[in-house]
Amino acid sequence: MGKKFFAWSFDDGLEQDKKIIEILKDYGLGATFHLNSGLFGDKTYEGRIGNLGMTEKPAASFRSSGFHLLSYAPHFRIPEDEVAQVYEGYEVASHTCRHVNLARCKEEERQKEIADDVKTLSEKFGYPVVGFAYPYGAGAKESREVLKAAGMKYARLARTREGFKFPEDPLAMPLSCWHISPKTFDLLNAFFQTESDEDLFFLMFAHGYEFDFATDESNWSKFQRICEMVARHDDVISCSIRDAFLYHEGKKELQ
């Protein structure tokens, strides 16, 4: 039988991550946090449309796009002098310095946004950062060589995939599920029930501010229910994305 891995993947380094980490600790779950080293301490708000919060765009761009915003949630990033302590024991990974769209950057900017972020985070957290998430899910094709040169072992997209196999191309790794999906629990149950000779990997994506929307599909108690379900399955190993790859590739032993 193959092994089953589950990882949470959170973006942007937000104040809500502190509460997330408390809950993850209660359930003994692992996670990866994708930070922007050039935006520590930055404060904005995120708009919600309908039942779901859908974007990282600043509020002004909602108004110009004509969408009707129902509410806002704080998108406050953790200040630089707190991050090392907050994320202690969890994998920190890169998300570019300033959350840029890598598909729209010039080559020079793309290199700098990735290489500088990886370097700053690696120094700050005291280990080589090996993971990445594309802001807006964009620019995988354009960034591949830069990511390899920066030592990235995996890079997460924003789109979802079918099935639970490890990604064929770790530098263009789709999600298993965005927690706001109405299919979240069906997908999790399908994962728990799947038996395979191969290793399987469920990658769950969220932004902390989305839990503050407090809608039917995006709220703190749903987050807790997901954690509780994962923790109940003894055959599922919950760890960081980095460790899921290391265990899968036999480069790290399970304890």
Residues that bind Zn ion (CB under 5 A): 11-12, 135
Q: How far, in Å, CA of 160 to CA of 177, rounded? A: 6
Element holding 146 (H helix, E strand): helix 140-149
Give the nearest distance from C-beta 110 to Zn ion in angstroms. 16
Give the nearest distance from C-beta 10 to Zn ion in angstroms. 9
- Closest residue to Zn ion, based on beta-carbon distance: 11
Q: How far is CA 4 from CA 119, 192, 239, 244, in A?
A: 31, 9, 11, 9
Q: Name the phi and psi angles at 100, rounded to 5.
A: -90, 155
Give the nearest distance from C-beta 235 to Zn ion in angstroms. 32
Q: How far, in Å, CA of 229 to CA of 12, rounded? A: 25
Q: Which is nearer to Zn ion, 27 or 136 (CB)?
A: 136
Q: Which is nearer to Zn ion, 47 or 135 (CB)?
A: 135
69 Cβ partners below 8 Å, 6+ apart? 47, 48, 49, 59, 62, 63
Give the nearest distance from C-beta 255 to Zn ion in angstroms. 32
Q: Which is nearer to Zn ion, 131 or 135 (CB)?
A: 135
Q: How far, in Å, CA of 202 to CA of 241, rounded? A: 10
Element holding 43 (H helix, E strand): strand 43-48
The answer to whether 58 touches 44, Cβ cutoff 8 Å, is yes
Q: Which is nearer to Zn ion, 156 or 222 (CB)?
A: 156
Give the nearest distance from C-beta 179 to Zn ion in angstroms. 15
Q: How far, in Å, CA of 115 to CA of 45, rounded? A: 28
Q: Which is nearer to Zn ion, 150 or 230 (CB)?
A: 150
Give the nearest distance from C-beta 199 to Zn ion in angstroms. 28
Q: Which is nearer to Zn ion, 11 or 117 (CB)?
A: 11
